[in-house]
Chain A
Amino acid sequence: AQSVTQLGSHVSVSEGALVLLRCNYSSSVPPYLFWYVQYPNQGLQLLLKYTSAATLVKGINDFEAEFKKSETSFHLTKPSAHMSDAAEYFCAVRNTGNQFYFGTGTSLTVIP
């Protein structure tokens, strides 16, 4: 079965600092991986996705993630945090049966 694990349910960074949100996947086949962002009382928006092309994936708002097969990881990074980045972030994996499974989420706080 495929799944994702997000380490750290809460992350705090200072404005302008590096953002690093961790995601590890468990999959018996090459996975399709996604990062989503959720603002309060809203649905989820796609930040970026890995679909077995380039291992370094660039997304919206300067976010990027690197697929590392040897570490079974797909961590999300952003060089410089903005106040507007404060939100809940979810890592997800898609299996070949059309199901998408999400991690438990990481709440990002940006300190001014």
Chain B
Amino acid sequence: SQTIHQWPATLVQPVGSPLSLECTVEGTSNPNLYWYRQAAGRGLQLLFYSVGIGQISSEVPQNLSASRPQDRQFILSSKKLLLSDSGFYLCAWSVSGSWAGELFFGEGSRLTVL
């Protein structure tokens, strides 16, 4: 069966420090991969999605970047964190080529920028 792992679960970082959140998927090949951010009291904002290695689409220009160095690995990064980067970050995947398929989510990473 497929599983998705996301880490770290909790992170407290000072303003201006770098960020790296990792996500890996097991049990499937060539998944579509996604990063969402959920700010307090708000919905889910799609940040990045990827349909293959090295292929990253950005939904919202901001202080973050994403990379997909391997088929089932998706990384969210920042060189210098802002206070507004605080939030709950969710990695997700869907089956490639399945137009009606759903998203499968990781457990999330809570980032607090102080």
A residues adjacent to B (C-beta < 8 A): 32, 34, 36, 41-46, 49, 51-52, 90, 92, 94, 96, 98-105
Contact = CB atoms under 8 A, between A and B. Distances in A.
A-B complex: 7 closest residue pairs judged by Cβ atoms: A43-B105, A51-B100, A104-B43, A102-B44, A44-B105, A43-B107, A46-B102
Interface size class of B (residues with CB under 8 A): 20 to 34
B32 A92 contact: no
B103 interface: yes
Nearest to B107: A43
B59 A99 contact: yes
Chain A binding site: helix, strand, loop or mixed by DSSP?
strand
A94 B101 CA distance: 9
B110 A98 contact: no
A98 B100 contact: no
A81 to B, nearest CB: 23
Interface of B: 6, 32, 34, 36, 42-44, 46, 49, 51, 59, 88, 90, 92, 94, 99-100, 102-108, 110
A66 B94 CA distance: 24
A101 B59 CA distance: 11
Contacts of B100: 32, 49, 51-52, 94
A49 B107 contact: no
Given A43-B105, A51-B100, A99 B49 contact: yes
Nearest to B50: A98
Contacts of A32: 99-100
Contacts of B104: 46
A41 B100 CA distance: 27
5 contacts: A45-B105, A92-B103, A98-B32, A102-B43, A105-B42
